[in-house]
């Protein structure tokens, strides 16, 4: 590798990182001495590259620095061309056009010999599902880019159609079909949707309730836990999950639902009062106790039973199956708009409590907590009509 190639490679190594990297690490990656790295860094700085840092601490390339077109080795070039050609076989015309334009830009900025290799790498994708055009795909990509909620009409395997609001997170292209992975506000959980079963796809201007990046990371981590647990069960080293009886309480005031945030653990998400049913308690007794302990509200009574659901905690690292008993309780008239309450314990757990409209709460509650919101009757005597049933 000559000096020019070495300088480009060093710039590329710095560009890939957002945090400082030491000269020792760079030297190991580039297969040169630390002294050579220091010398090359000084050369790049002298040429105007905005590199900051010092020996022993590390170096970083400030964002926004324009780099000229890089030279590709044979394998990198083949990967780019094959990938772009595969994208052009997908039933997504906009994405295919972008792939062609990207290849053209690379070729235009490349020397003649590299341009000739782009024209004839000898590598071609074979996609038997090509030739289709699916209008939903560019719409889904746009919704993901702008983080806007989507209303869909979706048919299940038996042809039953449901109306859902989803937050598209990932889009998977299989041969012959495509899958949208999304947060489903109807189910209050992550779901996947086959594009060929979507009968209506309408992007709204309503933003996601949480950033797409964090939702995607949570979803991918959950899938990885599922995969690891399935592998563990296949090896025969995982017994049945321990069943834990839980009570979950919806406390309402008119069309509002009482929710809370953990003061010290905001990553826990928006929740409603819930907890384990103690030995000797009935589910309704456990519901009233949990409601008092987590809100401080005295005088709650007459809980209305809504239903039971099971929630598998193994994807979240706990070998438990929560059997959740859901109840509805109406709040007293003198409840404040917001307040902080400390649940007794060592140390005490602080909650910030506040009210949300039921449709908003259906979108924001942590997975599983909104399972029976659609069964709640408001003070007017009508079932709540959240846009999603959680």
344-375 residues labelled b (16+ CB within 10 A) or e (exposed): eeeeebebebbbbebbbbbbbbbbbbbbbbbb
Q: For residues 389 and 241, which has the higher predicted lDDT (pLDDT)?
A: 241
- pLDDT, tens only, 250-259: 999 999 999 9
**Overall average pLDDT of the 15-21 stretch:** 81
Mean pLDDT, rounded, for 83-105: 88
Whole-number Å distance between alpha carbons of 31 and 381:
74
Check for a shared fold between 136-212 and 242-375.
no
pLDDT at 272 over 90: yes
* Predicted pLDDT of residue 233: 65
**Gyration radius from the chain CA atoms:** 28
CA within 13 Å, CB half, 188: 26
| More confidently predicted of 347 and 61 | 61
Task: State how far the Cα of 126 lies from the Cα of 107, in Å rounded to an integer.
Answer: 23
pLDDT average, residue stretch 267-295: 91
Percent of all residues in the chain with a pLDDT value above 90, rounded to a whole number? 32
What is the Cα–Cα distance from 205 to 253, expressed in whole angstroms? 28
Query: Which whole number is the average pLDDT over 229-242?
Result: 66
pLDDT of residue 346: 58
pLDDT at 389: 35
What are the tens digits of pLDDT across the range 276-288?
999 888 888 999 9
Q: Which residues contact 319 (CB under 8 A, 6 or more apart)?
A: 241, 242, 313
Q: Helix (H, G, I), strand (E, B), or coil: what is residue 322? A: strand
pLDDT, tens digit, 9 for 90 and up, residues 150-206 = 999 999 888 889 999 999 999 998 877 899 999 998 888 889 999 999 999 999 999
CATH code for the structural domain at 242-375: 3.90.79.10
Q: 3-61: what CATH class?
A: mainly alpha
pLDDT at res. 286:
92
Domain positions in the chain: 3-61, 75-119, 136-212, 242-375
Predicted confidence at residue 187, as pLDDT, reads 81
Question: Which CATH architecture fits 136-212?
Answer: Roll (2.30)
């Amino acid at each position: 590798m000559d000096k020019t190639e070495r300088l480009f490679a060093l710039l590329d190594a710095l560009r890939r990182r957002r945090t400082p990297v030491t000269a020792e690490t760079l030297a190991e990656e580039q297969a040169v001495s630390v002294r050579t790295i220091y010398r090359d860094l000084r050369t790049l700085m002298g040429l105007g590259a905005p590199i900051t840092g010092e020996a022993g601490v590390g170096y970083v390339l400030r964002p926004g620095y324009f780099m000229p077109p890089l030279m590709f080795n044979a394998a990198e070039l083949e990967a780019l061309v094959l990938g772009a050609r595969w994208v052009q076989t997908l039933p997504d015309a906009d994405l295919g056009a972008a792939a062609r334009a990207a290849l053209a830009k690379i070729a235009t900025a490349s020397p003649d010999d590299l341009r000739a290799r782009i024209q004839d790498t000898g590598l071609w994708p074979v996609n038997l599902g090509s030739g289709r055009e699916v209008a939903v795909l560019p719409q889904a990509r746009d919704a993901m880019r702008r983080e806007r909620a989507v209303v869909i009409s979706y048919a299940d395997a038996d042809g039953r159609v449901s109306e859902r609001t989803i937050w598209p997170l990932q889009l998977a292209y299989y041969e012959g079909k495509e899958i949208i992975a999304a947060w489903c506000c109807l189910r209050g959980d992550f779901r996947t949707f086959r594009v060929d079963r979507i009968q209506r796809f309408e992007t709204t201007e309503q933003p996601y309730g949480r950033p797409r990046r964090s939702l995607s990371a949570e979803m991918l981590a959950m899938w990885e836990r599922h995969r690891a647990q399935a592998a563990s069960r296949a090896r025969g080293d995982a017994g049945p999950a321990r069943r834990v009886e839980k009570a979950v309480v919806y406390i309402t005031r008119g069309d509002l639902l009482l929710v809370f945030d953990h003061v010290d653990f905001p990553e826990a998400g928006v929740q409603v009062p819930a907890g384990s049913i103690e030995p000797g308690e009935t589910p309704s007794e456990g519901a009233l106790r949990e409601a008092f302990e987590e809100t401080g509200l005295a005088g709650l009574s007459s809980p209305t039973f809504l239903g039971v659901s099971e929630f598998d905690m193994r994807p979240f690292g706990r070998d438990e199956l929560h059997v959740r008993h859901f109840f509805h309780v109406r709040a007293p008239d003198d409840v404040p708009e917001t307040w902080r309450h400390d649940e007794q314990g060592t140390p005490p757990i602080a909650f910030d409590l506040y009210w949300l409209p039921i449709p908003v709460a259906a979108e924001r509650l942590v997975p599983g907590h909104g399972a029976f919101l659609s069964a709640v009757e408001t003070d007017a005597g009508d079932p709540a009509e959240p846009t999603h049933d959680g």
